[in-house]
Amino acid sequence: MEVNAGEGSSQGLNAKTGQPGSKGKGTELDEWIERLLDSKPLLERDVERLCKMAKVIFAEEPNIVEVKTPVTVCGDIHGQYKDLLRIFQMGGSVPETNYLFLGDYVDRGKNSVATISLLVALKVRHKHRITMLRGNHESRQISRNFGFYNECMKRYKNANVWTHFTQLFDFFPISALIDGSIFCLHGGLSPSISTLDEVRNIKRDMEVPLCGPFHELLWTDPGNNLGWGKNLERGENALAFGADITEKFTTDNGLSLIARAHQVKMEGYEFTHQDKLVTVFSAPNYCKVRNKAAFIKFAGDYRSVKQFTAVGALEEVEIDLTSQFKCDDLIMQLSSIVI
């Protein structure tokens, strides 16, 4: 993958012995990125330095990051590192392609450390090319129990790397707004939030709370019933919102669409709520569900969906279904890779 923006070169420099400050930030980051792409983990001290650099960048971002098209939107990755590389291969490399990730980088999959390390390194290297939102798994409470913590302990023999990353997660932005009209976040709406300004006013530099609006934006799902109701699939206190809630929020805030992640979908994506809401999920064969994964490119009024199956599929076929899908006056191009 081409990740070098052109300034500096890593040739002749030793990533292991180079001292901080002895070379340009870009060169050091390029070395880390190359190392990660070579499937080698970063050293613990490099993770610490990377997270310090990243904290400054994330802390400067507002709760709603303004993003312009063209941008490629990805849902949950969940430690499926090879599938993340597949996304870059199919969707375009960084920094040539702009990416917006909707959270849940860690847990469940086997390679949370490599996944979050690479994405954060790319973020620091090309901060205007990648937007990373916070998912409900970017929290101490969740990632302690669903894989990331145990993987850090296994790879580094201590919890320091987990601590560095989970401290960094507190600074991840909550949401993004594409071209002023597509509101993007990990979970969904909140019964306590009716305007984008209310999202802008949330205090976010903390562990994801156990309840309240911040929690809900990262945890809720769209439901089939109208209004607000229980979301029993996720537990007693979880909430789901109906198409009427989506309609009111999008109308009141001048939005054309809500793009969110958080739920596995067999096709990798699903439009619902009168096409005012799309779920995108980018981890194929998630927990062996045999789902396809997808990501969506927005470019002005043009939208295209790419689907893919798990790495290691015996056979891949690309099917161009251009013009079979129409969404209002927008043409959706669907290229599918199936076994």
**Minimum distance, C-beta of residue 102 to Mn ion, in the bound complex (Å):** 9
Which residue has its beta carbon closest to Mn ion? Answer: 262
The neighbour count for residue 294, using CB atoms within 10 Å, is 26
Q: Where in 9-28 is the site for Mn ion (CB under 5 A)?
A: none
CA distance 97 to 286: 25
Neighbours of 307 (CB within 10 A): 21
Minimum separation from the CB atom of position 186 to Mn ion (A): 6
Contact criterion met (CB below 8 Å) for 207 and 98: no
CB of 49 to Mn ion, least distance (A): 28
- Using CB under 5 A as the binding rule, whether residue 306 contacts Mn ion is answered as no
Say how many Å lie between the first and final Cα of the chain, rounded. 25
> Do residues 325 and 332 make contact, with C-beta atoms less than 8 angstroms apart?
yes
Of the ranges 78-86, 105-113, 254-262, 320-328, which one interacts with Mn ion (CB under 5 A)?
A: 254-262
Nearer Cβ to Mn ion, position 72 or 139?
139
Nearer to Mn ion, 152 or 218 (CB): 218
Smallest gap from residue 262 Cβ to Mn ion (A) = 4
Longest dimension (CA), the chain: 62
R_g (Cα) of the chain, nearest Å: 19
Query: Closest approach of Cβ 64 to Mn ion, in Å?
Result: 19
78, 126, 128, 137: the catalytic one is 137
Task: Looking at residues 72 to 131 of the shown chain, list those that interact with Mn ion (rule: CB under 5 A).
Answer: 104
The tokens 């941008």 sit on which residue?
71
Total residues binding Mn ion (CB under 5 A) = 4
215 is catalytic: no
124 vs 261, which CB is nearer to Mn ion?
A: 261
Q: What are phi and psi of 117, to 5 degrees?
A: -65, -45
Please name the amino acid found at residue 282: S
Report the distance separating Cα 190 and Cα 175, nearest Å.
13
Task: State which residue, 131 or 136, has the beta carbon closest to Mn ion.
Answer: 136
The Cα-based distances of 209 to 184, 203, 324 in angstroms read 20, 11, 43
Q: Which is nearer to Mn ion, 36 or 116 (CB)?
A: 116
User: 10 Å Cβ neighbour count for 103?
Assistant: 29
Q: Which of residues 179-208 bind Mn ion (CB under 5 A)?
A: none
- Does position 262 interact with Mn ion (CB under 5 A)? The reply is yes
- In the 8-state DSSP scheme, what is residue 247? H
Q: Which of 136, 175, 304, 336 binds Mn ion (CB under 5 A)?
A: 136
Could you list the residues that contact Mn ion (CB under 5 A)?
104, 135-136, 262
**Which active-site residues does the annotation give?**
137
